[in-house]
Amino acid sequence: MLTVSNVGRVFPGGVEALRDTSLRLAESDFIALLGPSGCGKSTLLRLIAGLDQPTSGRMIWDGRPPAPGDIGFVFQDATLLPWSTAEDNVYLPLRLRGVSRGEAVPMVHAALHRVGLTGFETARPRALSGGMRMRVSIARALVTRPRLLLMDEPFAALDEFTRHKLQADLLDVWKEAGCTVVFVTHSIYEAAFLARRIVLMTPRPGKIAREMPSSLQAAAETRLDPAYATFVADISRAMQAALTS
Amino acid sequence: MRWAPALFGLLALALWEAAVRLLGVPVYVLPGPIAIVGAFAADPVGLLQSLASTLFVTFAALAVAAVLGGAMAVAMSASRLAQAAIQPWAVALQVTPLPAIAPLIIIWIGQPFLALVVCATIVAFFPLFASTASGLASAPPELNDLFHLYGARRWQTMRLLRLPAALPYFLTGLRISGGLALVGAVVAELVAGSGGFASGLAYRILEASFRLEIPRMFAALVLLALAGIVLNYGLGAIGQAILRRRGGV
């Protein structure tokens, strides 16, 4: 789907956020970008989204470059329009593409249903819990049926119970939607549970240290699987080694 | 708790009246509340008509300031060239004292009502302009990124993100500018004197002071203060009602 080829990003002022980073995203992949703060995870995500431009290297898309709606983005905060209902927030990407409300309503309701928010269409963000707001944000990202879903630490601000539930639900949504997911996190547990491939990143400057494929089942029960604990330990050791080398 | 301001006001009025009477203060130096009420009762229609005249100027100036301030803030938000062109002049307008330029405006414009509205607009303009401009820039960067990601056109970002984000700021500016428009109208009337509209409350204050009708002067002042309070609370209530209708944000 996308090849990130020797990409670097130096911000004005000379801060080198990313150096010589290469990565390949395949269709229906689920990748976790894992690393401590300041290792360029979010910068790489913004470059993939086209929200920022690399100062070196190239982003090479297979086939046509992404059109508006081909990429869904979920931020760390739900970033909803506070004056709009859940339904209107999910409708937003379609509205910006000129889709009429009548045409969009079935798609909007399907997206809200997919994230378990049927019945909350007319609720405004302030009436929803943090977890529900994040679900609206995920529904908004999914409503255009994106080829690529980019998620920037979306569950970092949630409590552990809500986080576990949303992680399991995200796996179901991913399997159902079949899109490629790039998930930024600094939680080893989260990366091990969710991703099919974990990309370890190290800071100053940000770069990819190692990729680790996962053989775990993408399902809620995985959390109770002893292999999950072993994989977490493997990632921890690899991360430790990458950070000290 | 709710009645505390009213009770405090009544107590202050009682003390004022008592002090004036006990100390034998002449009415042309400081009239007591009863004398002020008496002055109002002697000509309620005249004073209320003057109040209406001042409020007419105030509301006209507030409406012009709202349209101009809002439109210029939107223009500034939409174009860097407009920002570079408008901002220094807006600041210059804010720091220029009205009494210094009001006589010129009155001479240049000639028509008294229009001149007073222009003067009051100058005072009311800046809070509306500045607060709306802040509101237009207040949307979180992530939402701006989201609109960019979904290929939003500039007018779509303005209509669906920036303008709704600016609404609470605009309403706050409107509340502040309401009081300032009243102050501007009064100052302009004072500067214009008999060359102005000759019917506003400020003109009545001048007239009463020339005739040493100090209780009537105070009655006009009290009316002005009450009008300012009602304007402030009224605009605040309208703002809250508008925000409540769209979900309290």
- What is the 3-state secondary structure of chain B? CCCHHHHHHHHHHHHHHHHHHHHCCCCCCCCCHHHHHHHHHHCHHHHHHHHHHHHHHHHHHHHHHHHHHHHHHHHHHHCHHHHHHHHHHHHHHHHCCHHHHHHHHHHHHCCHHHHHHHHHHHHHHHHHHHHHHHHHCCCCHHHHHHHHHCCCCHHHHHHHHHHHHHHHHHHHHHHHHHHHHHHHHHHHHHHHHHHCCCCCHHHHHHHHHHCCCHHHHHHHHHHHHHHHHHHHHHHHHHHHHHHHHCCCC
Average pLDDT over residues B202-229: 92
Give contacts of A71 with chain B, Cβ < 8 Å: 149
C-beta atoms of A126 and B156 within 8 A: no
Residue A55: is its pLDDT beyond 90?
Answer: yes
Q: Is the Cβ of A156 closer than 8 Å to some Cβ of chain B?
A: no
Specify the range with the lowest mean pLDDT, choosing from A55-69, A78-92, A100-114, B150-164. Answer: A55-69
Position B1 scores a pLDDT of 75
User: Are A151 and A194 within 8 A, CB to CB?
Assistant: no
Q: Is the Cβ of A68 closer than 8 Å to some Cβ of chain B?
A: yes
Total number of residues shown for chain A: 245
Min Cα–Cα distance to chain A from B241, Å: 14
Position B88 scores a pLDDT of 85
C-beta atoms of B150 and A82 within 8 A: no
Taking only the tens place, the pLDDT of each residue in B17-34 is 999 999 999 988 999 999
CA dist A115 → A132, A137, A169, B19, B112 (Å): 9, 10, 7, 72, 64
CA distance B241 to B221: 30
List the structure tokens of A46.
């913004």
Instruction: Name the residue among A138, A67, A141, A60 with its Cα closest to residue B151.
Output: A67
> Radius of gyration (Cα) for chain B, nearest Å?
22
List the structure tokens of A146.
């994106």
Position B91 scores a pLDDT of 84
CA distance B62 to B235: 11
Q: Which of B148, B167, B247 is nearest residue A126 as measured by Cβ atoms?
A: B247
Give Cβ neighbours of residue B29 (< 8 Å, ≥ 6 apart): B214
CA distance A91 to B50: 53
Name residue, tokens 């770069």. A207
Q: Is the Cβ of A81 closer than 8 Å to some Cβ of chain B?
A: yes
Percentage of residues of chain B with pLDDT beyond 90: 69
Q: Which of B147, B150, B249 is nearest residue A82 as measured by Cβ atoms?
A: B249
To the nearest 10°, report the CA torsion of B182, B184, B187, B193.
-90
Q: What's at A170, amino acid-wise?
A: L
Cis? peptide before A205, omega within 30° of 0: yes
Instruction: Name the residue among A92, A80, A119 with its Cα closest to residue B247.
Output: A80
Average pLDDT over residues A189-200: 95
- Three-class secondary structure of residue A32 per DSSP: strand
User: Around Cβ B45, how many Cβ atoms within 10 Å?
Assistant: 7
Min Cα–Cα distance to chain B from A95, Å: 9
* Interstrand relation of A16-25 and A2-10 (parallel, antiparallel or unpaired): antiparallel
Q: Per-residue confidence at B82, pLDDT binned at 50, 70, 90? A: confident
Taking only the tens place, the pLDDT of each residue in A20-46 is 999 999 999 999 999 998 899 999 999
Min Cα–Cα distance to chain A from B134, Å: 18
Locate the DSSP E strands across A167-236. Answer: 180-185, 197-202, 207-213
Q: Which of B140, B150, B247 is nearest residue A68 as measured by Cβ atoms?
A: B150
Total number of residues shown for chain B: 249
Min Cα–Cα distance to chain A from B141, Å: 9
Residue A184: is its pLDDT beyond 90?
Answer: yes
CA distance A109 to A115: 10
Name residue, tokens 């996962």. A214
Position A203 scores a pLDDT of 87
Taking only the tens place, the pLDDT of each residue in B39-75 is 999 999 999 999 999 999 999 999 999 999 999 999 9
Residue B129: is its pLDDT beyond 70?
Answer: yes
Q: What's at A181, amino acid-wise?
A: V
Look up the ipTM and state it.
Answer: 0.89
C-beta atoms of A68 and B145 within 8 A: no
B185 phi and psi angles, rounded to 5 deg: -65, -40
CA distance B62 to B124: 6
Q: Is the Cβ of A96 closer than 8 Å to some Cβ of chain B?
A: yes
